[in-house]
Chain A
Amino acid sequence: MARQIYQAIADGILVGGVYALMAVGLTLIFGVLDIINIAQGVLVILGAYLSYELSVRVHLDLFLGLLITVPAMFVIGVVIQWAFIRRLRGRERTSMTLLVTYAVALIVEGILYEIYGANPKQLNASYVQSSVHLLGFYLSDIYLYGFVLAVAIVVALYAVLYRSTFGRSVRATMQDETAARLIGIDVNRVAAITFGLGIAVTAAGGMVFGATNTFNPNSGYDLISRLLAIIILGGLGSIGGALAASVFMLTVESLVDIWSPEWAIVVFYAALVVVLVVRPTGFFGRPPVRAQ
């Protein structure tokens, strides 16, 4: 029993890393643009399909393929922001962005259905099936690589945000958009690039997700609701919070899974509700600033 519990914790941490990869983009977009991107889940799946195309058609290694899919998703993100999200202003912006990003999700999902149909797919490579025996645990190779990738990307994002001029303007925009505009930051450019970055990260998340799960165009909805729960729990706009919350939630789910797989996912959402009753801003959230 103790063995099972340790194994579950190890699994939870590794899978949590993969979810962190997807959640970080969502929370970054929220922090800068103050919107919830419902399309994030479907875009993760789009990233998985892009990797699928590259590995099946061109026989490119999954991790090497990221060199193509990540920039591609970046461009898609910038285009979505420029075409639709930039235009939304005014009092109903919160709910309008919800509608717009949901619309984007519906359109992307519909197109994926037209191309690939509803049959589930999975990414394949030599390291997808194999696993290593480490410190008495059986750890799947792909999860290990995925976890390392997640840590690398989160560290890179941190470096960009806290060690570069662009990162400084992103953080300034996160704190106070008007003030950032006043000191000469091109807020529109920051918003476009951040949205692109947030989407680009999902390409990596989508690749690991696609290698560890079967997916079809409909998988995005289950994913987005989990990701939303994660970023709210971590505190909206907090990258470290998203990382901590992913690992926490997935470990909890993995532990409950030993006892009952059906209830594991219920516990996932119930954990969110319980934490928010105690702490409405999540783990690392700032108290809400009064909007005027």
Chain B
Amino acid sequence: MSRQRATAGLGLIVLAAVAVAFPLVFSSPVITNYAVYALIFVAVVSAWNVFSGFSGYISLGHAVFFGSGAYTVGIAARDWHVNGVSVFALLPLAAVVGAVIAVPFGLVALRVRRHTFIVITIAVFFIFQLMAANFSFTGGSVGVAAPFLPWNPTSFNDHFYYITLGCAVAAIVIAVLVRRSRFGLQLRAIRDDEDRARGLGVRTMKVKLTAFVLSATVAGLVGGVWFLYLTQVQPPSGYDPLFDLSLVLMAFLGGLGTISGPVLGALVIEPGQLYLTIRYTNGYLSEILLGALFLLIALFVPRGIVPTAGEWVGRLRTRGRPAVAPVPAQASAPAPSEASEAPAKEARR
């Protein structure tokens, strides 16, 4: 056990060193641009996972928080005449706006489950997109532009690389803390059987809403950062339906409800998607390829890379016998890692 811990610790240190050194080695703005987008999505998908992955309520409305965070920073900077680097002081406001929107949104949407929940999140998403296009203080279809950042163009991406890296690490740490806490356990109990969880004394609405608001807070903040990086936001880019579906795809590719899965998914999919859109500028072929990728994932690794790979490793170790003896879950010891937890769940089903 301790050897495993030491290996994991060493792995984390190496990973951190690689992450910090990345822009020093690859200094080309073209490459750091990919990295910044990937990290933005690592942060958002980790936040999304804290709610949707752990609770099983698939939200297709996180673009509401992301876009509102972006608009908050833009509108506040414009109306209060905030210039230069001090715009970063507006980021907490973006997080607060994300949280404030999430409370009524969650109170309405979390009353229903499964498909109906998904569709309500879509409906709220469209309401926000249309409001952004119709109100005058959001700049209508023109949108809002960010104030000029007095940074050297060659190091512009590097600054944002470290900012988004910070966001991504913070989001992952939040996800780890939630997963290990009693709160995280309650969320996963809701995912497995909400009625039974309620019967056992979990205050389901409170738990779900807390996770929703927490998730929205991070998404709002990262939306603000994204806006400052892109320097502009319009209704269709801030409230982008593809954004939500990308989150779902990333989480599913990696493994829904695990910590490392969505991160891995974001690191694979976002640069890939970006590359395809840049490579095939008409966008049609990239759509077909993306759709084909979706299908391959859904049909061949339906539970995601991380759980599936964990199973393979487990099978190798035990030479073909099941990794976990099929005993009732209550009797089995707490799973030491995410990887060996998946088969245990399967056995119980």
Contacts and interface: CB of A to CB of B under 8 A. Distances in A.
Contacts of B241: 221
B299 A84 contact: yes
Interface string B244-267: 010011001000100000000000
Nearest to A232: B119
Interface string A264-292: 01100110110011001010000010100
A90 interface: yes
Nearest to B107: A277
A225 B195 CA distance: 29
A94 interface: yes
Contacts of B291: 102-107, 110
B290 interface: yes
B134 A290 contact: no
B297 interface: yes
Contacts of A288: 113-114
Contacts, number: 131
Contacts of A98: 58, 118, 248
Interface in A67-116: 84, 87-88, 90-92, 94-96, 98-100, 102-107, 109-111, 113-114
A8 interface: no
B111 A280 contact: yes
A59 to B, nearest CB: 29
A228 B290 contact: no
B142 interface: no
Contacts of A290: 195
A36 interface: yes
A225 B121 CA distance: 11
B288 A88 contact: no
A200 to B, nearest CB: 22
Given A106-B288, A110-B285, A273 B297 contact: no
Contacts of A106: 287-288, 290-291, 294
Contacts of B113: 288
Contacts of A90: 302-303
Contacts of A265: 126, 130
Interface size class of A (residues with CB under 8 A): 35 or more
A269 B127 contact: yes
Interface string A238-265: 0000000000000000000000001101
Interface residues of B, number: 45
A32 to B, nearest CB: 14
Contacts of B245: 99, 102
B298 A88 contact: yes
Given A99-B294, A107-B288, A236 B124 contact: no
Interface in B275-310: 282-285, 287-288, 290-295, 297-299, 302-303
Most buried by B among A88, A109, A276: A276
A105 B294 CA distance: 11
Nearest to B345: A91
B16 interface: no
B287 A94 contact: no
A290 B116 CA distance: 15
A96 B302 contact: yes
Interface string B200-216: 00000000000000000
Nearest to B135: A262
B294 A92 contact: no
B217 to A, nearest CB: 22
A95 B58 contact: yes
Contact of A95 (B119, B252, B299): B252
B131 interface: yes
Interface of A: 30, 36, 84, 87-88, 90-92, 94-96, 98-100, 102-107, 109-111, 113-114, 221, 225, 228-229, 232, 236, 262-263, 265-266, 269-270, 272-273, 276-277, 280, 282, 288, 290
Given A103-B298, A110-B284, 16 more contacts: A30-B115, A91-B349, A95-B58, A95-B256, A96-B302, A104-B295, A106-B294, A107-B291, A228-B123, A232-B119, A236-B115, A272-B123, A276-B116, A277-B111, A288-B113, A290-B195
Interface of B: 58, 108, 111-116, 118-120, 122-124, 126-127, 130-131, 133-134, 195, 241, 245, 248-249, 252, 256, 282-285, 287-288, 290-295, 297-299, 302-303, 349
